[in-house]
Structure 1
Amino acid sequence: MSILVLSDALTELPPSISVIQSEIGEAGGFSPAFLSDLKIGESDHLLLSSEAVHLSPNLEQAFVQESYLTEKTIATHHLFQEESLRTQLGDNQVLACKEEVLATTVRSHLVNQLKVHESDLQNVLSLLKDLYPHYHEAALAYLEQKSYLKVVAFYMQASLAQEFARMVQRVAKSFFDNFDFAKVDVHRLRSLRHFFPLLFSAFLSAPPSLQVKRIGSVSILHPTIDLFLPLWKEEATVVVFASNEKFAPALAVCMNSLLEHTDPSHFYDIIVLESDITEFSKARLELLVSRFGQAKLRFFNPKALLFGRQLQKNPADHISLETYYRFLIADILPQYSKVLYLDCDTVILEDVAKLAAVDLQGKVLGATIDVEIPALAGGLDPDLGPYLSKVIGLGEGEAYHQAGVLVLDLSKMRSLHSVDEWIGLAGERKYRYNDQDILNKECRGHYYTLPMEWNLVVDCNHRRLPIIEAGPYSVLQEYLEARRHPKLVHYAGFEKPWDAPDSDFSHLFWHYARTSEFYDRLLAMVHMSSSSPGKQSLLLRLFPRGSKRRSFAKRLFYRTTGS
C-alpha cells in the first residue's frame, strides 16, 4: 500500500508510518500536478489523505477531531493500517469519507457559504461536459443533492486512483490555462480547492458507478506541527536548549558564546525547544547562527507532545514550564543517541564538542554536583537531609547533581523510562526541585559526575559562596578552582546579569551580549529593571528571593503539603 498525504506544508510525521507527502498550492488537490509524480504499481492500493483528514477503519461515527497526529492518535483510530482497511473494503472498490447532510443543496452551499464564484463553477462544469460528458452529468446530479462531501480521503486500487488523477489533471490544466491570476485574490484562489471533492464525487457516481463504502474519518486540528526532528548530520554535536520569548535575549548571548568557541571543521546541531518565541526573535537568532557555516539552528514546539498531560509547576519556586522539555528530548530526537542539554542562562567558554565527547562509562547521563546541597543537607536546611534520604533515596555521601548542564545518553534514557513515564513522574507534586529531583532519584547510580568547570554556578547575590563554605572543604576547593578556569558559567538563581549588571561573572555575559543580535533589547531590559522597582509583586516584596524569610516560607509549604 502506498500512502499519500496532501498537505499545505510538509511536516515530520511519526516515524512508525511510511508516508509520501505532497505539498499542495492554494487550490489544494485541484491541480494539474495531482498524483503526477507518484510511482505506484497497478496492483497496489493507494491511501490518500487531504485537508488533514484521514480515514479511520474502526470509527463508528462519521467524524472526530484530534488535536495532533501523534502515535497515540494513529493507534487509537487505526490510521494508515492496511490490514484494517482491506477488511473494511471487502468486495467494495473504494473506501471514502462519509458525507454530511446539508440544509440546502451542494451548489447553494458552495456558492453562498464557501464563496465559490459561480463563473468558476460554470467553467469547471463546461470543461467536464467537453472532456468527460458522463462525469458532467454526475457532477450536476451531485450539485443538486444535499449530501455533501467536504474533503477527499480514499483507499482504492492504484489503477482506479490513477484514472481519477488523470481526470483531475486534465480538467485542472484546462481550467488554469485560461485563468487570469493577475485578476484574482488569494481567497478566490483558495475557493478552487472545493472543486476537488466535486470531481471525486462525480468520479464515484458516474456510470458505471463504483462500489463505495463510506467510513469514518479523523480530522487533525494542528496538522503542520512536527512531532519529531530528523537527523541532520550523524557526526554533529547536538546541543538542546529550552527557552521562551522572555529568555530569547539570554539564549542569544549563550548561543553567541557557544559559536565563538566552535571548531570550524566540526558540525553543531543547535535545537531550541520553545512554544512562544516570536518570528522576529527567531529571525534574530537565525541571523546570529548564519555567521557560522558549521552550525544549524532548528526550533521545535513540544506542544503536541505535551498535549493531554498535566505538568505540575512548583508554586514555591521560579522553575518554568520549559524546564520540563528535557524529558521529551528522547522522543523529539528519535534518531539521536547522545546530546547535550544546556540551560540558556549560561555563557560557554570552551568548545562544547569536547563536553559531548566525554565518555559516560555506561551511565545514563553526565552532570556536575550541586555545590550547595552538601552544606544545606548537612544542617543549614534541617529538612533537606531527611527529604533527600526519604524522597530522593540518596544514601549518606551520595552526590546530588545539578540539571542545568547535562550530557544525555538518549538510548539509556529510553531504556530507563518511556517519555510518558518521565512526564508522569514530573506531575507528582512531592518534589522540591521538580525535574532536577526526578533525575537525581530515577538516575541514582547512573550519573557520571562532570568536572565542576563545565557548570560553574555563580555566587548568586553573594549568598551562594557562604553556603558552600559551610559544607565539605573538598567541594569548596573544587568550586574555587572552577572559578579560576571555568568552561561554562551558569547564572543559576534569581539574580541574572540583565537584572544586575554588576553581579558575579556578569562581565562575561556582557562581553558576548555586545556582539549578539539582542544587545539593544538587553540594554532596554536593564533600563526597565532599574527604573521599575515598584513593579515587584507583593509576594516578592514579602518574600524576596534568596532571603531567610523565603526559605522559611518554602520549608513551611513543604511540611504542610507533605513533601
Structure 2
Amino acid sequence: MADVPTPRIAVFVSTHRPVALFDSEILRPVQVGSALAAERYPWALHDDDGENISDQNPLYCELTTQYWAWKNIEADYYGFCHYRRYFDFSSELHCENPWGEVMADYINAHSQTEYGLDDATIASVIKGYDVITTEFKDLRRFPGGVSTPRHHFELAERLHPEDLDRVLAILKETHPDYAQDADAFLNGHRSCFCNMFIMRREPFFAYCAWLFPILERFVAETDMSDYSVEALRTPGHLAERLFNIYYAHQMRIGVGWRTRELQCVHFLHPERGDVFEPLSVSGRVVPVVLASDDAYVPMLTTTIFSMLSNASNERHYDVVILERDISAEHKSLMRRFFERFPNATLRFSDAGSLVDGYRLTTNNAHISIETYYRFLIQEVLPGYDKVLYLDADLIVEGDVAELFDVDLGESALGAVRDIDFAGNVGYRDGKRKAYAHDVLGMSDPYGYFQAGVLLLNTAAMRRLHSVDEWLRLAGNESLIYNDQDVLNAECEGRVTYLDASWNVMTDFSGRAERVFSFAPAWAFKAYQQSRQAPRIVHYAGVEKPWNAVGTDQAERYWRYARKTPFYEELSARLMGSPVRARASSPRAIGENSPLRKVVDPLLPIGSRRRELARAIGLAISGRS
C-alpha cells in the first residue's frame, strides 16, 4: 500500500468528490470507493490501498474508510466524519436547526476558527476521552412526528423495514447479550447520527471486530438485486443504528469509557473554490469576468450574449462567472445556450467561500454583495496579468477585445470617469466634494471612475493589495459605494481613463438633467457624445429594463434579451408577475406519505427552504 505517515490522532474525512479542505494534519481526506472511481484524487488517501472493501462502497458508504483505517492505519485515536459534516470542536454552543445540526456555509479559514477545526483545538478536545460522538438527540423533538429510532428507519421510504429486523436477528443470534440493548435503543427516543465518532485504538478495534462480521453476514443473506440506489446503501444505514446499540451496551455493562458528545456542523457549500489557469487555445485570449447569484442569471446571460454577439471571430473569449449558488440547472442551460459561440469558453467559480467571514455590506439597495467579487479576480485567475471585468446589468454593443487591448502601462486599471459622481461633486452644497477629499482622500474628485467596467492590471493590483486587504478596506461602513469607493481611493494616480463610450450610464428618472449636467462641461459633453455611439450601455441605476417600462435605452437591451432562454422570465419581471422557483431535485418524500401534509405547506417544492431541508434530511439519515 501507499506510504502513509503514522499519526497520533487521525480523523478521516470521507469524500467521493473534490471538496475544500481545512488546513490540518489531523483531518485526513480519504477518497471512498477508490477501486471504482474513474479518477483518483492526488490530494486524498484512498480506501483501496492495502486490505480493503473499497469495491463495496455502494453498499457500505463511508464505512469503507472505517474498514480501511482499521486494517491499515496505526494511530492512537481514530475518527470519522464526512466531506460536508464535521464535529464542532469549539467551546461555544452554536445554534442548531430543528434537526439538531449546526448549519454553516463554507469550508475556509473563517469556519475553521469558528468551529475549532484546527489541530491544536482538535487535539486538546480529544485528549483524555475514550469515545466521542455527535450529540444524542431526542427524536420526538424533530419535525415530522418521529417517535423512535425504529420509526425513524421506517419513515425512510427507499429503505426496507424488514432489513432492520434481519440485522437484529443476526445480532441477537451472534451476540445474545446485546438483545436488550437493541430493543431498548430501537424503542427508545434518543440517537446519535452520521456514523461519526472518535475512539481510542482499543475500543475502535473492538467495535470494528464486532460490526463488520454482522454486516458481512447481512449482505450475504440479503437479496438486494432489485434494490434502488439508496436501498443498496442499507449496510451503511444499519451501521448507524448498530453503533448506537454497541455504545448503549458498553454503557450498560460499565466498561468505564470516558465519553463526550460534540455538535455536528453541516456545511452547505463544501465544494472547492476554483482557481483557473489561462486557457490553452489558438488565438489571442480575452479574459472577461462577471459576477452573479442565481436570481441574476437572466440578466447575466443577456449581458454575455450581447458581448459575444459583437465579438471578433479572430479572438477567444474566456468568460469566467464568479458566482454564489447558481443552480446546476441554470449552469447547464447557459452552457448549452452559449455553445453557439465556438470562440468562447464559459467557466464558473464559487466565490462565496472567498468572501465568507468578511463584514461586507452595501449602502445602496440596488447594489448586491456580488459587487465585491471583482476583488477576487487577482486570486481566482492567477495566470492572467490583465483581465476585463463587467457588471451584469449592461449590454455590449462593441467588441470588448478592442477594450482589452488598451495599453495600461503601469496603471492599476482602466475605467471611465463617473458622470454621476462628477455631477454630485458639482453641487453647490459641496457635500460630495468634501466626501471625496475627507473620506476617500482623493486630490481630484473629478477623477472618480465608475467600476462597472474595469480593465484590470491584475499584476499591479496584486502588488497594491492582497484580496484580504481589499475586502477589509471595502468593509468600511462610512463609504457610500463601498467597493467602488475603495478602488478610487486606492488607485488614484494609477488609472488609465477609457473612452466614455465604454461605459455609458443610462438617463434614468431624468438623472442626466438633475445630476449629470452639474459635472464640468468637458465631462458632460463627453457623456453626451458617448450616447451617440455607445459601445457599452450600463443600466447602473435603480431603474432597469426588466423592472421598469420605458427605461432609457431599453430597446437596446430587449434586442438581446428576447433571444436568450430567459426572455419569458425577464418579461414576467417587467410585468410584475411572480417568477416561479425552478425545482432542482426530485421529491424527497413520496406522494402518499403523511409527511406531505406537514412538509409541503412549510417547504414548497422548488423553494430554497425545501432544498435546505432536503440537505438536512440527507445528513440525519446518514447518507454520504
TM-score (norm 1): 0.70
1:112 and 2:151 matched: yes
1:389 and 2:433 matched: no
Partner of 1:4: 12
Partner of 2:289: 239
Partner of 2:489: 441
Select 1:492's aligned residue among 520, 526, 540. Answer: 540
Query: How big is each residue's C-alpha offset from its partner over 1:350-409, in whole Å with a ceiling of 9 and x where there is no partner?
Result: 554665676655555443210243344234664332332233322246511112123453
One-letter identity of the residue aligned with 1:266:
H
1:229 is displaced (CA, Å) by 2.1
SS at match of 2:450: coil
Any conservation in 2 of the 1:227–1:305 contact (CA below 8 Å)? no
1:11 is displaced (CA, Å) by 6.6
Any conservation in 1 of the 2:273–2:354 contact (CA below 8 Å)? no
One-letter identity of the residue aligned with 1:384:
R
One-letter identity of the residue aligned with 2:469:
S
1:125 is displaced (CA, Å) by 3.0
Distance 1:335 1:138 in 2: 58
Select 1:76's aligned residue among 114, 119, 127. Answer: 114
Partner of 1:558: none
Distance 1:376 1:67 in 2: 42
1:346 is displaced (CA, Å) by 1.1
CA 1:468–1:91: 2 relative to 1, 3 Å: closer
CA 1:524–1:143: 2 relative to 1, 3 Å: closer
* Within-5 A mapping of 1:513-552: 513-525=561-573
Distance 1:334 1:167 in 2: 51
* Within-5 A mapping of 1:354-503: 355=403, 361=409, 364-379=412-427, 382-396=430-444, 399-408=447-456, 409=458, 411-412=462-463, 414-415=465-466, 418=469, 421-422=472-473, 424-425=475-476, 428=477, 430-460=478-508, 463-464=511-512, 471-476=519-524, 478-479=526-527, 482-483=530-531, 486-498=534-546
* Within-5 A mapping of 1:132-211: 133=174, 137-138=177-178, 141=181, 144=184, 148-155=191-198, 171-172=214-215, 174-176=217-219, 178-180=222-224, 182=226, 193-200=236-243
Percent identity, aligned pairs only, is 21
Select 1:217's aligned residue among 262, 268, 283. Answer: 262
CA 1:510–1:391: 2 relative to 1, 3 Å: same
CA 1:492–1:284: 2 relative to 1, 3 Å: same
One-letter identity of the residue aligned with 2:273:
L
CA 1:244–1:66: 2 relative to 1, 3 Å: closer
Query: How big is each residue's C-alpha offset from its partner over 1:256-312, in whole Å with a ceiling of 9 and x where there is no partner?
Result: 12333266873624315346x677655543432344454224374749955795735
SS at match of 1:437: helix
Any conservation in 1 of the 2:88–2:262 contact (CA below 8 Å)? yes
SS at match of 1:124: helix
CA 1:504–1:46: 2 relative to 1, 3 Å: same
CA 1:84–1:476: 2 relative to 1, 3 Å: closer
Moved more, 37-46 or 487-496: 37-46
Partner of 1:326: 373
1:196 is displaced (CA, Å) by 2.3
CA 1:109–1:523: 2 relative to 1, 3 Å: closer
Any conservation in 2 of the 1:340–1:407 contact (CA below 8 Å)? yes
Distance 1:180 1:166 in 2: 24
SS at match of 1:392: coil
Any conservation in 1 of the 2:413–2:496 contact (CA below 8 Å)? yes
CA 1:180–1:59: 2 relative to 1, 3 Å: same
Any conservation in 1 of the 2:273–2:353 contact (CA below 8 Å)? no
* Within-5 A mapping of 1:287-298: 287-292=336-341, 294-298=344-348
Q: How many residues align?
A: 510
Distance 2:94 2:442 in 1: 54
One-letter identity of the residue aligned with 2:373:
R
SS at match of 2:395: strand
Moved more, 301-310 or 279-288: 301-310
One-letter identity of the residue aligned with 2:86:
H
1:285 and 2:334 matched: yes
Partner of 1:252: 301
Any conservation in 2 of the 1:4–1:22 contact (CA below 8 Å)? no
Distance 2:61 2:28 in 1: 21
Any conservation in 2 of the 1:62–1:215 contact (CA below 8 Å)? no
Partner of 1:509: 557
Partner of 2:165: 122
One-letter identity of the residue aligned with 1:270:
V
TM-score (norm 2): 0.64
Distance 1:500 1:60 in 2: 48
Distance 1:414 1:510 in 2: 39
Unaligned runs of at least 5 residues, structure 2: 1-6, 34-55, 97-101, 141-146, 280-284, 578-624
Query: How big is each residue's C-alpha offset from its partner over 1:501-555, in whole Å with a ceiling of 9 and x where there is no partner?
Result: 77654443233223211233444555669xxxxxxxxxxxxxxxxxxxxxxxxxx
One-letter identity of the residue aligned with 1:141:
D
Any conservation in 2 of the 1:26–1:189 contact (CA below 8 Å)? no
* Within-5 A mapping of 1:11-50: 12-14=19-21, 16-17=23-24, 20=29, 33-34=64-65, 42-43=73-74, 46-50=78-82
One-letter identity of the residue aligned with 2:338:
V
Moved more, 353-362 or 266-275: 353-362
1:266 and 2:310 matched: no
SS at match of 1:298: strand
CA 1:376–1:113: 2 relative to 1, 3 Å: closer
1:416 is displaced (CA, Å) by 7.3
CA 1:363–1:161: 2 relative to 1, 3 Å: farther
Any conservation in 2 of the 1:375–1:470 contact (CA below 8 Å)? yes
SS at match of 2:564: coil
Partner of 1:54: 86
1:58 is displaced (CA, Å) by 5.3
Any conservation in 2 of the 1:46–1:158 contact (CA below 8 Å)? yes
One-letter identity of the residue aligned with 1:411:
R
Any conservation in 1 of the 2:78–2:200 contact (CA below 8 Å)? yes
One-letter identity of the residue aligned with 2:396:
I
CA 1:254–1:434: 2 relative to 1, 3 Å: same
Any conservation in 1 of the 2:30–2:65 contact (CA below 8 Å)? no
CA 1:80–1:384: 2 relative to 1, 3 Å: closer
1:470 is displaced (CA, Å) by 5.3
Partner of 2:50: none
SS at match of 1:254: helix
Any conservation in 1 of the 2:277–2:382 contact (CA below 8 Å)? no
Distance 1:243 1:63 in 2: 26
Any conservation in 2 of the 1:12–1:226 contact (CA below 8 Å)? yes
CA 1:22–1:259: 2 relative to 1, 3 Å: farther
Distance 2:403 2:203 in 1: 57
